[in-house]
């Protein structure tokens, strides 16, 4: 019985750690609720780092990466923020799809089976609104946001600035 309770406690604590907001993405999105930026947030998991992309209409992208659970336990430093860009046409499409999906909080939430340790959560933030987790096929608007999220991730080119 003690083993079951200990295991349940570990699973609960791991879930709390995985579900935390990566490096202030939510606070940045909330504080810039009137700004023209879309925030793409991934919660990360035990072995995948969390991240937040702040995308402007012109295609500029700021990426903030967190640490994995293992890196946090080992006291590893958090990677530095990166600056980059995506094609202007992709930024236009992202903003068009996000604006068409407003209010984001009213989008249908899909139930998705996820591993407590290895599952991650993806959200879109815009003008103080937060989408439900983009894990399933809730609607055409959700599908468009999922595609935009994936395209931004694969298209973003970041400048790697060395600290010398």
What is the tens place of the pLDDT at every residue in 70-104? Answer: 777 788 787 888 999 999 999 999 999 999 999 99
What pLDDT does residue 4 have?
42
What pLDDT does residue 14 have?
42
CA 39 distance to own-chain centroid? 8
Pairing outcome for strands 157-159 and 37-42:
unpaired
Residue 120 has pLDDT above 90, yes or no: no
Per residue in 125-134, pLDDT (tens digit) is: 999 999 999 9
Cα dihedral 129, 132, 99, 35, rounded to 10, equals: 30
In terms of pLDDT, which residue wins out, 87 or 12?
87
- Whether the full predicted model's pTM is greater than 0.85, yes or no, is no
Percent of the chain surpassing pLDDT 70: 73
What pLDDT does residue 110 have?
80
Residue 68 has pLDDT above 90, yes or no: no
Helix or strand holding residue 99 (H, E): helix 88-101
What pLDDT does residue 28 have?
62
CA angle centred on 111, ends 110 and 116, rounded to 5°: 130
* Residue 11 confidence class, pLDDT cut points 50, 70, 90: very low
């Amino acid at each position: 019985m003690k083993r079951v309770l200990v295991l349940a406690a570990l699973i609960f604590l791991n879930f709390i750690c995985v579900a935390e907001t990566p490096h202030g993405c939510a606070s940045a999105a909330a504080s810039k609720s009137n700004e023209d930026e879309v925030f793409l947030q991934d919660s990360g998991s035990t072995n995948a780092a969390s991240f937040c992309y702040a995308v402007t209409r012109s295609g500029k992208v700021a990426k903030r990466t967190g640490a994995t659970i293992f890196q946090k336990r080992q006291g590893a430093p958090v990677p530095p923020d990166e600056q980059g860009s995506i094609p202007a046409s992709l930024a236009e499409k992202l903003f068009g799809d996000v604006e068409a999906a407003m209010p984001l909080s009213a989008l249908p939430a899909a139930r998705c089976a996820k591993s407590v340790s290895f599952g991650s959560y993806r959200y879109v933030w815009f003008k103080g609104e937060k989408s439900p987790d983009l894990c399933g096929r809730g609607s055409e608007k959700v599908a468009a946001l999922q595609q935009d999220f994936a395209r931004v991730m694969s298209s973003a080119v970041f400048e790697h600035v060395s600290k010398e």
